[in-house]
Amino acid sequence: MSSSEAAAQQRGHSSQTGVNVESTTNNKTKSLAQKVRKRDNNQAHQAADLQGYLQKWTNLVKGFQRRWFVLDQGVLSYYLDQSEAQQQSRGAIKLSGALIEHVDACTFSVTSSSPELNFRIKAASEVERQTWIVALELAKTAATVDAAPQQVKSSEGGRCRRTRVPDKPNYPLSLWSIVKNCIGKDLTKIPMPVNFNEPLSMLQRLTEDYEYADILDVASTCEDACEQLAYLAAFTASAYATTSNRINKPFNPLLGETFECDRTDDLGWRCLAEQVSHHPPIAALHCESDNWQCWQEFSMTSKFRGKYMQIIPLGTAYVSFNKTGTRYSWRKVTTTINNIIVGKLWVDQQGEMEIVDANAPHGNKCILNYVPYSYFGREIQRSVKGVVINGQKQAKWLVRGTWDEQIEIAPVLRTLGTPENPSYSTGEYKVAWRRRPAPVDSEKFYNLTTLACQLNEPEEGVAPTDSRHRPDQRLMEQGLWDESNQEKLRLEEKQRGVRRMREERVKQGFTVPDYEPLWFKREGADGMHVYNNKYWEAKATQSWSDCPDIY
Ligand SMILES: CC(C)CCC[C@@H](C)[C@H]1CC[C@H]2[C@@H]3CC=C4C[C@@H](O)CC[C@]4(C)[C@H]3CC[C@]12C
């Protein structure tokens, strides 16, 4: 029996310890889901309070001593014995920001940094230890959410959005120990515990492509089509900004999972994503604003190449500017994840990206080169270089910078040199994109940007299939990784079950219609999934009856 199972069982029996007990513990999955939902509604006040005798480390002479511990409203206090509990405590730690660590089978420690305090505590059994750790983690999450500044920009929409998620707990686990048995497998097919995840699904991660969509607003006002393309090049590079320090795996979306992000009020755009295929996994996105529309289909293959892994994205991204109807398309470059076996993980981008006019194949285009990292190279790292050429193959604008910091663009005034080795004299460079500074302390919460923190914020009225409702991801966000892992397995099994049933019916000779996504349909010669314009209307009337039950 794993410790978390034991803890769950313990919770079922231990009414005496005062843990909030779900009466239907035999139906554990349900009780977990309920717990998540409850916590969504009122995260701050759902923490399980707990009290009881434990052994507390005093000093080398006296060793462990029996003390009465009380967990109440985000504070862990102790007393000489139970009768003293109404009086002043002997010591107390605020759990917000505290470190809760498992030491050995029965021992754990709770540490706070300011004031500097540490309790080393021994429980009577592993089960009791885990019960306390779970209660403490829950209380910590609730307290941290409470303590976190909730206010963001004073958006015209007037909505307050959160600016952070709970801190990432620290449960060390070697990536290589998981991945080594999976050489040759695709990243999306490697069964991985949530320890390497970030609390976002790939649908949400892809929505972050639009974090700097204001560049598209600028581009939409350009009179010069080549300048517009140069801005667009800056936009495509901005999508990689977060990859420099976000090396966690987003959750693989379940088939039929959706994610909406309506930021029309403050950012001027809204986006809808759906997982439209499971084998191979494909996501489709559609993002719209008054000035432009963007859509894309995304899937990927991944390859181990010795000490690193390469992610090769498939699918095409499009933008169309409303005023002129000009449409451009591009494909994403290859992402490399280095140091898979040992060392610190780091990411690089490489490859050539061609941004072409989708209506005029021989018209303007931008050739952007994401220069790969080279140990010996003289190039600055993460560099992006590009040129916008017109239909006559004349260079019109130059693009330069790095994908993790900023991109500048400049008009070409004159082309010198030879066609094989041209040199350009340009006008002044202007900054087309600059990365916003990271939020304070973001290294404690997966290096998420403020927008990223807000993506998974619970929101009313979204589809039942929305990633925000995904229970394993919510548990992970709250730092409850054991529980999250269990839920993840249950959801994946449920998905397999549905698949198996389809296959069974096909075997029995029934005609089973192909899986149809709800909000996207295949269109055009390449059969790309494009938006069917139904989601936001369905949302307005809350008509979700066609949504599959995936959680
Ligand atoms: C072994 C584990 C830890 C590896 C984790 C790999 C993560 C960091 C990789 C896997 C797939 C990658 C994504 C693949 C494609 C895109 C789309 C692009 O427009 C922005 C970057 C983005 C969103 C990448 C971000 C980094 C990414 C999420």
Block residue for tokens 């939902």? 37
The reported pLDDT for the residue numbered 386 is 97
Which positions of the chain have pLDDT values less than 50?
Answer: 1-47, 149-156
If one residue of 205, 210, 314, 368 were mutated to test the ligand 1 pocket, choosing by the most ligand atoms within 8 A of its CB, it would be 205
Measured in Å, residue 19 CA sits from the centre of ligand 1 at 40
What are 251's strand-pairing partners?
201
**Best probe residue, ligand 1, of 335, 349, 404 (max atoms within 8 Å of C-beta):** 335
**8 A C-beta contact, residue 191 and residue 269:** no
Res 19: pLDDT: 36
Alpha helical stretches, state H, 273-313? none
Structure tokens at 385: 């270089």
CA dist list (Å): 249 to 3, 170, 211, 273: 25, 16, 19, 18
| Å from CA of 249 to ligand 1 middle | 7
Predicted local distance difference test score (pLDDT) of residue 146: 63
State the virtual CA torsion across 183, 188, 189, 195 in degrees, nearest 10.
80
Residue of the CA atom closest to atom 5 of ligand 1: 249
Determine the atom of ligand 1 nearest the C-alpha atom of 246.
8
Q: Which atom of ligand 1 is nearest to the CA of 317?
A: 19
ipTM of the prediction: 0.98
Between the CA of 370 and the centroid of ligand 1 the distance, in Å, is 16
Contact predicate 96/147, CB 8 Å: yes
* Residue having the nearest C-alpha atom to atom 15 of ligand 1: 313
* d(C-alpha 78, C-alpha 98), whole Å: 16
Nearest to 163 by CA among 418, 356, 448, 426: 448
Ligand 1 atom, smallest distance to 179 CA: 1
DSSP output for 470-522:
-HHHHHHHTT-HHHHHHHHHHHHHHHHHHHHHHHHHHHTT---PPP--SSEEE
Q: Please identify which residue in the block is written with the tokens 């005093």.
A: 58
Query: CA angle, corner 49, sides to 43 and 53, nearest 5?
Result: 155
| Total residues found in the chain within this entry | 551
pLDDT of residue 147: 63
Ligand 1 centroid vs 202 CA: distance in angstroms?
8
Gap from CA of 243 to ligand 1 centroid (Å): 7
Atom of ligand 1 nearest to the CA of 340: 1
Q: How far is the CA of 20 from the centre of ligand 1 (A)?
A: 39
Residues facing residue 383 across a β-bridge: 402
Element (H, E) at 3: helix 3-13
pLDDT one-digit tens code per residue, 381-402: 999 999 999 999 999 999 999 9
Cα-to-centroid distance, 441 and ligand 1 (Å): 22
CA distance 276 to 417: 49
In whole angstroms, give the CA distance from residue 381 to residue 397. Answer: 22
Residue 396: what pLDDT?
97
Strand pairing report for 197-201 and 249-251:
parallel
Give me the pLDDT at residue 51, please. 93
Distance separating alpha carbons of residues 125 and 469, to the nearest angstrom = 35
- How far does the centroid of ligand 1 lie from the alpha carbon of residue 155, in Å? 30
307 within 8 A of 339, measured Cβ to Cβ? yes
CB burial readout 208-220, b (16+ within 10 A) else e: bbbbbbbbbbbbb
* Dist. CA 406 → ligand 1 center (Å): 20
Residue nearest to atom 6 of ligand 1 (CA): 249
Nearest to 233 by CA among 380, 398, 116: 398
418 Rama sector, left if φ>0, alpha if ψ -120 to 50, beta otherwise: beta
CA of 521 to the centre of ligand 1 (A): 25
> Distance, CA 468 to ligand 1 centroid (Å)?
20
- Which residue has a Cα nearest atom 16 of ligand 1? 206
**Among 291, 296, 356, residue whose Cα is nearest residue 322:** 291
Residue 359, CA distances (Å) to 364, 387, 521, 528 in order: 10, 20, 21, 17
pTM of the model: 0.74
Q: What is the pLDDT of residue 27?
A: 41
CB under 8 Å to 357, separation ≥6 — which residues? 326, 327, 328, 363, 364, 365
Of the candidates 340, 119, 330, the one whose C-alpha atom is nearest the C-alpha of residue 209 is 330
Q: Give residues (CB < 6 A) around ligand 1.
A: 175, 196, 205, 209, 239-240, 243, 247, 249-250, 300, 311, 313, 332, 335, 337
Structure tokens at 94: 């605020």
Pocket test for ligand 1, best of 311, 330, 342 (most atoms within 8 A of CB): 311
Q: Which residue has a Cα nearest atom 10 of ligand 1?
A: 249
Task: Please report, in angstroms and rounded to a whole number, the separation of the first and last CA atoms in the chain.
Answer: 25
Q: Could you give the CA distance from residue 316 to residue 330 in angstroms, rounded to a whole number?
A: 6
